[in-house]
Amino acid sequence: MAGGLPGRKGAKMRPFGGPKGGGDRRKGAHGRAGGRAEIPDDDGLVRLFGSHAVEAALCNPRRRVRRLLATENAERRLAEVIAARGVVIDRATPGDLDHLLGADTVHQGLLLEAEHLPEPSLDELVARAERMGPLVLLDHVTDPHNAGAVLRSAAAFGAAGLIFTRRHSPPLNGVLAKAASGALDLVPVLPVQNLARTMLELKALGFRMIGLEGTAADPLEEETFAGLSALVLGAEGKGLRALTQETCDRLVSITTADTLASLNVSNAAAVALHWALLARRRART
């Protein structure tokens, strides 16, 4: 099957076992007998898995691809995208990917090694916010599943971009990308050193900082998200830090039923961004 799957043109394939193929298949796949293969975490590459995350990365011309590991079924599912990108495929089995990523990882037969996306500038995010929706700022949200889900909501509801701190934030890698379901390659993400300082820079440019805080007296439903705005969300449990709250122009809370008064950060982001989209649409009619 050196030419790829029957009936499909444009894809290249080589046996699993490293960037140049060949070698001992079992060693290349497993690294060590019965265990998880060692994947270096300091080589500067992003490793994405799952159909949506890998497909979005392959469709993003800014994402420089190094290697794609795929099972036969996964290659068939993404045949057009893979062929259009001209990626050389390293054939792998589900067991190969289980050993590389861990048996509990939902990889869907795909593992993409690629370079990090270029970081956007603050000016680029401002320009997007002028024609799209609000920016989303995360204050010490460290769980990659939550951060990825927020990114997915940002894409779904037209947010202009996401900003978080370089420290106390999850890496822009596999788990976050899987939770984001492709949004990592759709919504620009800017890591910053100091969130409060960045908030002040945005305020100087005319942005209104709207912090989501469960104890706030003002309801989210009264916020219009008119003009340039940013939605600021804190970590689950701790919420927004004191300095972040002080830097916000307004704190709002989501109206809930008495039976359960709190939401995790990713659910709260989805509700708030959906409301922001509806509010902006109503303002235009």
One domain for residues 246 and 266: yes
Q: Phi and psi at residue 221, in whole multiples of 5°?
A: -65, -15
Residue 55 maps to a domain: yes
Give the tens place of pLDDT for each residue, 211-228.
999 889 999 999 999 999
pLDDT for position 38: 53
Alpha helices in 133-237 (DSSP H): 144-156, 174-180, 195-204
Nearest to 68 by CA among 82, 52, 84: 82
Residue 3 maps to a domain: no
| CB contact at 8 A, 69 and 111 | yes
One domain for residues 272 and 166: yes
User: Confidence band (pLDDT; 50, 70, 90) for 284?
Assistant: confident
| CB contact at 8 A, 194 and 169 | no
Residue 278 maps to a domain: yes
Q: Which of 58, 81, 115 represents a domain boundary (last residue)? A: 115
Give the tens place of pLDDT for each residue, 131-167.
999 999 999 999 999 999 999 999 999 999 999 999 8
Domain count, the chain: 2
One domain for residues 132 and 259: yes
Which two three-digit tokens encode residue 234?
Answer: 């804190």
Residue 2 maps to a domain: no
Find the domain containing 248 and state its range. Answer: 122-284
One domain for residues 180 and 278: yes
**Using CA atoms, how far apart are residues 1 and 15, in angstroms rounded to an integer?**
10
Q: Which of 86, 115, 144 represents a domain boundary (last residue)? A: 115
One domain for residues 103 and 133: no
CATH number at residue 270: 3.40.1280.10
